[in-house]
């Protein structure tokens, strides 16, 4: 395969992984906008998306679509419970943001451990959602599942744009992201929107997990790597900007892919973090964020 073609192939591969990072990053942004909290339990939603879908499909023999819906419901329930049982009590006690972020990290660990106890440590995977072979675009090979991830990701991003611009709830969440105190003074129910934010980001995280599991394996401990990548992607895109976060995810996936090509897999995290540092130093507001004045 000529070098240029090979490079293009790796860009496609990186972009596919980047879509998933982007969805995880959107989850970070949705909660951050509603509450100002960086939710480090976001990775557990991704993990549960894959693990619960597999468990319902494999153990209970439910159709894949029903199992996936079940996984989204479980993740949303966890998101809302995280808000009700962990975030809101701390919020009412006026805990510092640092404490709330630590609390979400604790949620991540608890969910991970509980998943280990309930389903064990065996790796799991799902069959391809579209059961046909890879698509050959000339010399480039595009996995149908990756194509599906692209399509669903773009639909989700478009849907979120509509949600944030055309619905009252979405607009209220944007108001919260600009100034929560002012939004509260205007009668916007901020705490209810925080719950909506947790539910929405949990659903997006679960969808990311469901989408990516047919291309790899999932297990109880795979939430954290996705959370780290999603967090970096969110910063690259401009923390708080869902669409920027998605672009940040694509950028991160492609960076990792190219780093692996050029310098080996051991350097992919080095390059991810190097890109993050460059952004923090030169463009801390990220790709689409606006600079604070």
Partner 1 sequence: MKTKLVLAALLAAVITAPAMAQTYKIGASVGLSGYAATTDTAWRDGVLMAAAALNAKGGIGGRMIEVIVEDNRSEPQEAVTAYRKMLQSDKVDIFASGCVSAGNFAAAAFVVRAQVPMMLCSILPNPPDQVKWAFSTLPPPKFEVETRLSYLKDSTQIRSFGILHDPTPYANLQATIAEKEAASYGLTVAGNEQYRQEDADLGVQLGRLNAAGARAILKIGLGGTTLTTAKNLVALGLDMPLLNSLDDVNLFRPVADVLGPRFLFVASPSQVFGAIPPGKLHDALSEFLTPWRAKYGDRDPNWASRGWDAVMLTADAVKLAGSTEGGKVRDAMEKIQGFQGTTGVYSMSSDVHYGLTENPLLLARIVDGKAQIVK
Q: Which stretch binds partner 1 (CB under 8 A): 91-99, 118-126, 153-161, 173-181?
A: 118-126
Is 216 among the residues that bind partner 1 (CB under 8 A)?
A: yes
Question: Are 258 and 266 within 8 A, CB to CB?
Answer: no
Q: Of residues 44, 53, 257, 272, which one binds partner 1 by CB under 8 A?
A: 257
Is 17 among the residues that bind partner 1 (CB under 8 A)?
A: yes
Is 45 among the residues that bind partner 1 (CB under 8 A)?
A: no
User: Least separation, in Å, of the C-beta of 274 and partner 1?
Assistant: 17
User: Least separation, in Å, of the C-beta of 231 and partner 1?
Assistant: 14
Q: Which stretch binds partner 1 (CB under 8 A): 67-75, 135-143, 178-186, 234-242?
A: 135-143
Q: Of residues 63, 89, 159, 225, which one binds partner 1 by CB under 8 A?
A: 225
Question: Are 183 and 176 within 8 A, CB to CB?
Answer: yes
Is 122 among the residues that bind partner 1 (CB under 8 A)?
A: yes
What is the x/- site pattern for partner 1, positions 146-165, by CB under 8 A? x-------------------
Q: Measure the CA–CA gap between 162 and 50, rounded to whole angstroms.
A: 27
Evaluated on CA atoms 20, 21, 22, 23, the torsion sign reads positive
End-to-end CA distance of the chain: 50
Is 130 among the residues that bind partner 1 (CB under 8 A)?
A: no
Tell how far CA 251 is from the center of its chain: 14
In the complex with partner 1, which residue's Cβ is closer, 177 or 218? 218
Q: Measure the CA–CA gap between 200 and 194, rounded to whole angstroms.
A: 10
In the complex with partner 1, which residue's Cβ is closer, 9 or 177? 9
User: Least separation, in Å, of the C-beta of 256 and partner 1?
Assistant: 8
Is 265 among the residues that bind partner 1 (CB under 8 A)?
A: yes
DSSP element (H, E) containing 136: strand 135-137
Burial class (CB in 10 A: 0-12, 13-18, 19+), 71: buried
Spell out the residues 6+ positions from residue 234 whose beta carbon is closer than 8 angstroms to its own: 25, 26, 28, 29, 32, 245, 248
DSSP element (H, E) containing 236: helix 223-237
Q: Measure the CA–CA gap between 229 and 236, rounded to whole angstroms.
A: 10
Instruction: List contacts with partner 1 (CB under 8 A).
Output: 1, 6, 9-10, 13-14, 16-17, 20, 116, 121-125, 133-134, 136, 141, 143, 145-146, 212, 214-219, 221-222, 224-226, 229, 257, 260-261, 264-266, 268-269
């Amino acid at each position: 395969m000529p070098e240029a073609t090979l490079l293009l192939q790796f860009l496609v591969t990186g972009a596919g992984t980047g879509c998933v990072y982007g969805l995880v990053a959107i989850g970070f942004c949705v909660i951050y906008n509603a509450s100002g909290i960086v939710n480090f339990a976001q990775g557990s939603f991704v993990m549960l998306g894959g693990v619960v879908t597999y468990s319902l499909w494999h153990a209970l023999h439910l159709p894949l679509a029903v199992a996936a819906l079940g996984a989204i419901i479980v993740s949303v329930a966890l998101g809302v419970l995280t808000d009700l049982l962990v975030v809101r009590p701390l919020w009412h006690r006026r805990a510092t943001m640092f404490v709330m972020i630590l609390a979400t990290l604790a949620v991540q660990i608890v969910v991970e451990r509980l998943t280990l106890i309930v389903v064990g440590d065996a790796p799991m995977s799902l069959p391809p959602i579209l059961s046909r072979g890879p698509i050959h675009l000339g010399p480039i090979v595009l996995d149908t599942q990756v194509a599906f991830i692209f399509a669903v990701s773009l639909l989700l991003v478009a849907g979120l744009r509509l949600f944030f611009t055309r619905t009252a709830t979405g607009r209220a969440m944007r108001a919260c992201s600009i100034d929560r105190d002012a939004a509260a003074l205007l009668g916007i129910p901020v705490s209810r929107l925080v719950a909506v934010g947790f539910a929405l980001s949990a659903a997006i995280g679960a969808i990311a997990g469901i989408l990516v599991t047919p291309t790899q394996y999932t297990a109880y401990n795979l939430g954290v790597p996705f959370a780290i990548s999603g967090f970096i992607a969110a910063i690259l895109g401009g923390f708080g900007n869902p669409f920027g976060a998605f672009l940040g995810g694509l950028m991160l996936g492609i960076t990792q892919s190219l780093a692996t090509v050029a310098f080996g897999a051991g350097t992919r995290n080095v390059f991810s973090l190097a890109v993050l540092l460059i952004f923090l130093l030169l463009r801390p507001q990220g790709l689409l964020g606006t600079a604070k004045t």
